[in-house]
A and B are shown apart, each in its own frame.
Chain A
Amino acid sequence: MFDKTLAELAAGLRNGDFTSTELTTAWLERIKAEDSKYNSYITVTEEEALAQAKAADEAIAAGTAGPFTGLPIAHKDLFCTQGVRTSCASKMLDNFISPYDGTMVAKFKQAGAVMLGKTNMDEFAMGGSNESSYYGPARNPWDTDRVPGGSSGGSGAAVAARLAPAATGSDTGGSIRQPAALCGITGLKPTYGRVSRYGMVAFASSLDQIGPMAHTAEDCAMMLNVMAGFDPMDSTSVDREVPDYTATLNEPLAGLKIGLPAEYFTDTLDAKVAEQVRNAVAEFEKMGATVKEVSLPRTELSIPAYYIIAPAEASSNLSRFDGVRYGYRCEDPKDLEDMYKRSRGEGFGEEVKRRIMVGTYALCAGYYDAYYNKAQQIRRLIQQDFAKVLEEVDVIMAPTTPHPAFKIGEKSNDPVSMYMEDIYTLSLNLAGLPGMSVPCGQVDGLPVGLQIIGNHFAEAKLLNVAHQYQQATDWHKQAPAGI
């Protein structure tokens, strides 16, 4: 049962092979028995899950069920869930019980989904290893001495360890795609504005986007069907029709034009990872796709541009945590300024404080043109590079990460080397483009991700391309040893 996809579980529920209550109970028991190895959950919501499962079983019996009714999933712990702690993996919000559901969470509830719990993450989604979590790092099920990636590392680990059939994530600079790659699962970052972020704790508002993480492209399509759509509560939400993402999964790929960006296949890339990615591309050629080399000449500049824009926006967004209205407040403040400084100093972890300080510095009077404005100009150039390439090809294929999962502690004292690992994912957020990571091989027993990049709102095409690959290969079906 734990190896089944959402699509298979949905069929089982419809056929009466099992009930949602049986499914949910089995998963909750598995989490209880196994998660101490992976630390993938911050909060398990057993009571809520069983109540939702019971309601789903009633809907199935009454014939009012939809495609998602009764399916268990986990939510990253930066999505507000009414009556349930929403911690953002921070001491700052360790005591925060959200008074409302975010839009995406509410949509899954309306669709009849069952929430198993809230997954671990890098604190405030700032990181690529899950090591900055206040609750300790989540661990990679393929090798528990290694990171699961981040920031949606708990979601990646939970799905890979079969502790949830699927999970939600958020992606500001790669936080869905990178853990998906390192954990050997499938993840999709949609186009900026495709999924409402109302009720997602904001990190960098011009970059943040919510998306699905699951075993297959088909499951991601089922989830995006629930998640996508216009929401007046998010001022960046795009008012545009939502297609049925499952309807086009089986379109043939003959004639598909694939671009391989030369700047992604350099010395920065582990040669063994490169080989796996090239093998995957060869698989598409067998399906009738054509491949050409393309150029994204400003790829390296995405790192400095991102590490100005994201911290600048974060420093502004996180100013709301002041110890007054919610969240952590220090003991015995002697005056207002002392309360602000100590509440924030004690409530935030190191990486969050570093980024707030970089952002504060960059936004200082006199520095705006040299930093934030300059980064926004480079952002325009990066977007133009993508636009030009996407006139010539249908999709761009590349590695998701330069290396497989690294060891816990290996990079945690060197933020710059950690940032360099984001080189292949950051530029999509800067350009607002959708991207997927799909398991495409292994290096020394660790999974490797193929990144598939498309034009704005080309999610259906990306899912179609990924699904066809998963019909021809079985990397997405591989499970870590002992699972």
Chain B
Amino acid sequence: MSLDRSDVERIAHLARLQIDESDIPAYTENLSNILNLIDQMQQTDTSGVAPLANPLDAVQRLRADEVTEGNQREALQKAAPAVEDGLFLVPRVIE
């Protein structure tokens, strides 16, 4: 599997990653090499094999729908880049 420049730009956009123009050729080459490595698995016949998502075949544990966490807004918002009146600030999205 070989990617071209537009593939890398599309993937970077989907992943919301800004990539410098000058770095795109290196990403294109490295990602193509990685996908070639990965394509080795296409030669293995896996028809009828159940996918293994959890190595212990465990399923999600359920719990009672109860409030267990107290309000820690102030402590948690200390790590935020920008807050005001207890709200997270982001660039304006509605004009």
Contact = CB atoms under 8 A, between A and B. Distances in A.
Pairing of A with B: yes
Interface of A: 95-97, 99, 191-193, 206-207, 232, 235-236, 238, 298, 300-301, 303-305, 307-308, 315, 319, 322-329, 333-342, 344-346, 348, 350, 353-354, 356-358, 360-362, 364, 370-371, 373-381, 383, 415-416, 419, 429-433, 456
A361 B49 CA distance: 23
A307 B17 contact: no
Contact of A377 (B11, B12, B51, B81): B51
A81 B35 CA distance: 37
A356 B27 CA distance: 12
14 contacts: A99-B76, A298-B44, A322-B16, A325-B88, A336-B93, A357-B11, A357-B31, A361-B35, A374-B46, A378-B41, A381-B46, A419-B34, A419-B37, A432-B55
Nearest to B51: A376
A244 to B, nearest CB: 23
B57 to A, nearest CB: 9
B56 A336 contact: no
Interface string B1-39: 000000110011111111110010001001101110111
Contact of A378 (B33, B44, B60, B76): B44
Contacts of B88: 324-325
Contacts of A238: 56, 58
Most buried by B among A99, A354, A357, A373: A357
Contacts of A319: 16
A323 B44 contact: no
B91 A336 contact: yes
Contacts of A99: 72, 75-76, 78-79
Q: Is the interface of A mostly helix, strand, loop or mixed?
A: helix
B71 interface: no
Contacts of B23: 350
B25 to A, nearest CB: 13
Nearest to A209: B55
Q: Is the interface of B mostly helix, strand, loop or mixed?
A: loop
A381 B43 CA distance: 14
A206 B55 contact: yes
Given A206-B55, A344-B17, A304 B50 contact: no
B31 A358 contact: yes
A234 to B, nearest CB: 10
Interface residues of B, number: 52
Given A354-B34, A361-B31, 5 more contacts: A304-B37, A377-B46, A378-B46, A415-B33, A416-B33
A431 B52 CA distance: 9
A236 B57 CA distance: 10
Interface string B39-70: 11110101001111111101011010000000
Nearest to B14: A360
Nearest to B13: A341
Contacts of A429: 55
Contact of A337 (B16, B63, B72, B81): B16
B12 A357 contact: yes
Contact of B56 (A344, A371, A432): A432
A236 B14 contact: no
Contacts of A206: 53-55
B90 to A, nearest CB: 6
- Residue with the highest number of chain A CB atoms closer than 10 Å, among B8, B19, B49, B55: B55
A324 B81 contact: yes
A96 B93 contact: no
Nearest to B59: A235
Nearest to A378: B41
**Which 8 residue pairs are nearest across A and B when measured between Cβ atoms?**
A432-B55, A345-B18, A376-B51, A377-B46, A329-B81, A326-B79, A380-B52, A341-B18
Contact of B17 (A207, A353, A456): A353
Interface string B69-95: 000100110111110000010111100
A341 B55 contact: no
A191 B55 CA distance: 9
A89 to B, nearest CB: 17
A174 B81 CA distance: 34
B28 to A, nearest CB: 10
B58 to A, nearest CB: 7
Contacts of A339: 90-91
> Which of B30, B34, B53 lies at the interface centre, i.e. has the most chain A CB atoms within 10 A of its CB?
B34
